[in-house]
Structure 1
Amino acid sequence: MKNFLAILCFIISFNLISQNTLKIDPSKNSVKASINDVSWIAGYWVGEAFGGHTEEVWTTPLGNSMMGSFKLVVNGNVEFYELCTISEENETLYFRLKHFHNNLKGWEEKDERLQAQLLKIEENKVYFEDFTFEKVTENELNIYVVFTNDTGHEEEMKFNYKLKK
């Protein structure tokens, strides 16, 4: 009985942790969308995470894509950067990301990057595999990201941003 309860608690907690992100289902067709469907992501967003201050800046759609950058600053020093794109290709969207140390040396190999296909889109929420953007209000944005922690387990983290004016 104790084993059953432990397994049940694990399943419930895992589902609660990852309720804002989705995994790809190979049996489903790609979701149709336009880059203009996610134009609400554009802006200069600021927040806090990893013990520091974060900036997430997204351009408005141009050339069937949006470009984003992320910066983490802890104790006045840049920890790392990310360069991101959301691109419209073949009537769907792809989210791509590369990480860089504070000296702009890449984390990923030269021709490698993280890529996530669009899985679901709603009026104020867009789901890519392991990444979700949520428009809370005109001035607030949540981004949910699935990370692999030090023990090799996946966990979801919420980044809350406010629009900087």
Structure 2
Amino acid sequence: MKNRFTIFSLLLAFCLLGFTQQNLPYAWLAGNWTGDGFRGTSEELWSQPDADGTMMGTYRHHKGDGSLNFYEFMVMDSTGLRLKHFNPDMTGWETKEDFVHFKAIEFTADKIVLKGLVFERKSDTEMEIRLDLKMKDGSKRTEVFKMKRK
């Protein structure tokens, strides 16, 4: 009985490790993406998932005139996306302890649905990002980013 439990535990661990590294529903995001958004140029770079299913990413935005607008450092895992914003001089928008958290709602083969943010794979080389924004006047709008894999 003890041998069966050990074998089952090992098989489960190998299956989970394989799922985590290779078959995560958000692993398609890995790579370098460029596109539009906020009337400028957006760039995202996502790592491959590590052993626990975490991916790290960076974002850079240039204004329409080509000047650097801001950076983001991001972490994606099964709980959703956490990020921090930085000015061009690397001063942070959020306090040292704070970050923005887009909580996970659903992961499918072609869509990452988070509260207020959606990544949708349109093809192997194209994705659309939809970000819900609340404006200063209380109104809401959605910023759409059309991204292509480099």
- In 1, distance between residues paired with 2:58 and 2:85? 10
Shift of 1:150: 2.8
Q: Distance in 2 between matches of 1:40 and 1:60?
A: 9
Counterpart in the other structure of 1:138: 124
Q: Report deviation, 1:43.
A: 1.1
Of the candidates 27, 44, 49, which is equivalent to residue 39 of structure 1? 27
Give deviations 1:94-127, integer Å, cap 9, x for gaps. Answer: 2101111011100011100011221112221111
Which residue number corresponds to residue 70 of structure 1?
A: 59
The AA in structure 2 aligned to 1:159 is F
Q: TM-score, normalised by structure 1?
A: 0.72
Paired residue type of 1:161: M
Aligned length: 128
Q: Is the 8 Å Cα contact of residues 20 and 51 (structure 2) preserved in structure 1?
A: no
Return the TM-score normalized by structure 2. 0.79
Structure 1 residue ranges without an equivalent (≥5) = 1-32
Q: Is the 8 A contact 2:20 2:49 kept in 1?
A: no
TM superposition shift of 1:42: 0.8
Return the match for 1:104 from 90, 100, 103.
90
User: Take 2:123 and 2:109, find their aligned partners in 1: how far apart are those partners?
Assistant: 12
The amino acid of 1:61's aligned partner reads P
1:19-30 to structure 2, matched below 5 A, reads: none
Helix, strand or coil for the counterpart of 1:37?
A: coil
| Residue 60 (structure 1) aligned with residue 35 (structure 2) | no
**Counterpart residue number, 1:151:** 137
Give the share of equivalent positions with the same residue, in percent: 28
Partners of 2:102 and 2:136 in 1: how far apart? 22
Q: Runs of 4 or more off by more than 2 Å in structure 1?
A: none
Q: Residue 9 of structure 1 aligns with which residue?
A: none
- Residues in 2 aligned to 1:49 and 1:145: alpha-carbon distance in whole angstroms: 10
**Structure of higher CA gyration radius:** 2
Distance 1:55 1:135 in 2: 16
Aligned twin of 1:120: 106
Structure 2: gaps (5+ residues): 1-18
Match of 2:79, SS?
A: strand
- Structure number with the bigger relative contact order (C-alpha 8 A, sep ≥ 6) is 1
